Structure 1
Amino acid sequence: MHGSRRAFLGTALGLAATTAGLTAGLGTTAHAADASAAAGRHGCRRRRIPPSGLGMHLYTMRTPLAQDFKGTLARLAETGYATVGVSGRHGHSAAAIRQMLDETRLKAVLEHVGHSTVTGSGLPQALEDIHTLGARWIVVPSLPGEMHSPAGFREAARQFNKAGLAAREAGLGPLLFHNHGSDHAVVEGENLYDILLTETDPELVGFELDVYWAAKGGADPRSLFVRHRHRFPALHVKDMAPDGDFADVGSGVLDFAAMFDTAKSGGVRQWLVEHDSPADPFATALNSYTYLSRLRY
């Protein structure tokens, strides 16, 4: 759904709104009026996601991967995807996954590695595995629940700086952190995500911004990209259904054209599709790729 059929829901990018707020104004007339207004504000959209930057986060494909890892990769490549984010190896070694990626002409750009591994004795092996995969970034997918306080996030910032230095010394890119909605909460008067942004070294630590969870948590990706330049080399591109659930990219309420308008400022290099609970992972992969490959902003 795009052009005159797609709502320009700029407010969805600052989603402190409730589900009722999200669904308001989604009638056909509102869609046409908002799309027309968006076209006028943006003028002639010429930019596009570079084909080499359009990827799939493999958590989306976990069910078929568990049955046929290489066959699933091959279908993603046939769809048009160029890159993947690794999330779960399904019994395969990093070397075996790299071989399958090479054979299907896909490139791994990052891998999600648990917080306890990144902050513990397993970090050197994890960094070696990133090299083996041919990737650039190691990503912490979440923080333990007990760390969701200003003190906990300050400790996480310290841990990330240390692990980011190890990643740099290993010849890799900065350590990245993947957000969820609760990471954008205000606790004891402080925004938790802002603590990570301000108390980590930009040379050592970056962010894989999940735009769905950012919006769900009340953050504005456009503003983040401008206020914290070059901190967001990778995105999880995930859409939101009118009821607040997950949706195939392009079928929900998030305005990706507006969101990506400032992505260059944020340093975005990878747009990784994700859907947390797809009914048909391959249909989701196709629908999302088709929308993003045609998107102009």
Structure 2
Amino acid sequence: MTNRNRRTFLKDIAACGAFASLARAASVDWKKQIGLEVYTVRDLFAKDPEGTLAKVAEIGYKEIEPTSYANLDPKQFRAVLDRYGLSAPSTHAGATDGPDLEKQLEGFQVMGIRYTEIRGGGGGRAPAAAAARAGGGRSPETEESVKRSAQQINQHGRIAKKFGMKMLIHNHTQEFEWLEGGKLRPYDVLLAETDPALVAMQLDIGWASVAGQNILQMFQKNPGRYELWHVKDATGIKSADPKLTPNQRREGSKLVPVGQGEVDYKAIFAKADVAGLKHFCIEQDNAAEGGDAMAAAKASYQGLWKQLG
């Protein structure tokens, strides 16, 4: 064995050891952590926050991801969670940037939140989140603009770290549109430019699948980066014309309760350790369109159990 080959061999062995440690550390007991993104039942929550969370807990959910705090202060919100045996490890009702950012993060600590985003200014949501969904195949972002967003998210992550938190980055479909030149997508740049010690990727598996991404390959390419998942199902994934852009594919898809679509969650959860999964929540953006959002939340809960149980 040459010196070069020996160095390569030792490097590979070290990488395997580090990967094995990562996998062991990321183990998740999904049955004890199944969560719901409150956006699924947002209209019910707006009318009756505590009653809605009581019903969510009755279904069997253990965690939630809030999109608002129903005008409750952190101690009041935490009391409601505790009353129904719920926790909120992540939030989509993120902090706002400014002089009182740290005070807001202190409030999140009280609620038990460990992953957040910054509302406005690209401090948490992935770039291009407001882009036209049926665009012409190019992201309105540039590589440099996405890098700037990544730097801003890292900076917020350094602040959040002081409170035991990380920033999260959530995707839709537009983050998988090609940037000018056709070699990189916004999501590629975000993965490369954000610090894993400060920033966690919250992979919306449903939208990524609709966008034509291979979820298992994403895990293999960037192991350990996907600490948070949105568990979402859809139809129209397999039949989509491969020539369509991610945003165009979204227009041809339909969100449905978990287990009633085309996403293979049994295979995906089998690789949770590779992904680095810590927490996940079920979400169906259009649940209310069926007339009973809580029934849709229950159907998704049962659908995931059917796939994984």
TM range (shorter): 0.7 to 0.9
What's 2:76 paired with?
A: 96
What's 1:87 paired with?
A: 67
Counterpart of 1:248, as a letter, is P
- Structure 1's unaligned 5+ residue stretches are 1-46
Instruction: Answer whether contact 1:113 1:141 (CA < 8 A) is retained.
Output: no
What's 2:7 paired with?
A: none
Distance 2:296 2:145 in 1: 36
Distance 2:300 2:29 in 1: 13
What's 1:283 paired with?
A: 295
What's 2:43 paired with?
A: 63
What's 1:272 paired with?
A: 281
What's 2:201 paired with?
A: 207
Distance 1:250 1:186 in 2: 30
What's 1:134 paired with?
A: 112
Moved more, 216-225 or 196-205: 216-225
Distance 2:94 2:30 in 1: 30
Cα-to-partner distance string for 1:113-171 (whole Å, 9 max, x where unaligned): 458x24x4443133122202112111324546487332221011101111111111122
Given the superposition, is the C-alpha separation of residues 89 and 238 from structure 1 closer, same or farther in structure 2, using an over 3 Å criterion?
A: same
TM-superposed CA distance for 1:49, in Å, is 5.3
Instruction: Answer whether contact 1:48 1:293 (CA < 8 A) is retained.
Output: no
Counterpart of 1:102, as a letter, is D
Distance 1:86 1:232 in 2: 19
Q: Are 1:108 and 2:88 counterparts?
A: yes
Counterpart of 1:58, as a letter, is V
Instruction: Answer whether contact 1:165 1:204 (CA < 8 A) is retained.
Output: yes
What's 1:29 paired with?
A: none
- Structure 2's unaligned 5+ residue stretches are 1-26, 118-123, 132-139, 237-251
Instruction: Answer whether contact 1:56 1:81 (CA < 8 A) is retained.
Output: yes
Larger radius of gyration: 2
- What is the TM-score with the length of structure 2 in the denominator? 0.75
Given the superposition, is the C-alpha separation of residues 122 and 141 from structure 1 closer, same or farther in structure 2, using an over 3 Å criterion?
A: farther
Higher RCO (C-alpha 8 Å, min separation 6): 1
Give the secondary structure class of the aligned counterpart of 1:295: helix
Give the secondary structure class of the aligned counterpart of 1:176: strand
After the TM superposition, which residues 1-297 of structure 1 pair with which residues of structure 2 at under 5 Å, given as runs?
A: 50-113=30-93, 117-118=96-97, 120-139=98-117, 140-143=124-127, 145=130, 148-172=141-165, 174-188=166-180, 189=182, 190-242=184-236, 244-278=253-287, 279=290, 280-296=292-308
Cα-to-partner distance string for 1:13-49 (whole Å, 9 max, x where unaligned): xxxxxxxxxxxxxxxxxxxxxxxxxxxxxxxxxx995
Counterpart of 1:182, as a letter, is Q
Cα-to-partner distance string for 1:85-129 (whole Å, 9 max, x where unaligned): 1112233333222111111110111111458x24x4443133122
Counterpart of 1:177, as a letter, is I
TM-superposed CA distance for 1:241, in Å, is 2.4
Distance 2:142 2:69 in 1: 31
What's 1:37 paired with?
A: none
Instruction: Answer whether contact 1:49 1:295 (CA < 8 A) is retained.
Output: no
- What is the TM-score with the length of structure 1 in the denominator? 0.77
Instruction: Answer whether contact 1:240 1:247 (CA < 8 A) is retained.
Output: yes
TM-superposed CA distance for 1:83, in Å, is 0.4
TM-superposed CA distance for 1:290, in Å, is 1.0
Aligned residues: 248
Distance 1:230 1:282 in 2: 32
